[in-house]
Structure 1
């Protein structure tokens, strides 16, 4: 998704807001617009990732992910592998009532490994980490040898 039209619109709005200002103010505003572009780009990408996570939680058989292609986010929509094979899907967790921001400090090598795995899965690092934490926090499977029913799928 090309973010440049949106960033251009913000810059144009700043230019309009300072149209009646003196030349120095307009120059400072133009420089500030250039300086905040990376922060705006990151905020817009985070917005897309949060929207993708919300859509995924509302769509039972579809996963929406955001991955980066250079500086641009790319939205992907995929069907759950379990749904594609006709298997039953696990019910989504009902305790999720939104998202929370967490800062995690990772050793650089671990971060590179996680990024490589996320890229191989064609997911953003954030989406990959969320799924890894979900898998790690699911209850351990019980002994199923006595059960004739088996449910598999993604959550």
Structure 2
């Protein structure tokens, strides 16, 4: 009888249950941590791309010709992303310089769209895409009394 009672107590003991709990909970915690990092990277990159688009639009609005505005917007966007530490897998800067061809004295704007592909593949999460493409558009007013060179 004592032998059976000892065997029953040994079977009901909690020895080894901590290792099983850790084996179940640890992967879930690691996945949650990686998802948090991915979310933070997307939010931070989105804010940086917004700032780059605003910088590029402002820079483009200061130039008189479409070619100069396009060049200035691209370099301003690249510099802004670099300053903020955002490494895009691919970057595209589209500039609408239609406002530079509006006659002097009339209100006009220049719009810049910055598209950046943020790399997420280094997080190694199953089901998470390897990259996420983020886009931001900003508009800046062209001084209506400043001479313009047209398109």
Query: Which is higher, the Rg of structure 1 or of structure 2?
Result: 2
Higher strand share: 2
- TM-score norm. by structure 2 comes to 0.30
Asked which structure has the greater RCO (Cα within 8 Å, sep 6+), the reply is: 2
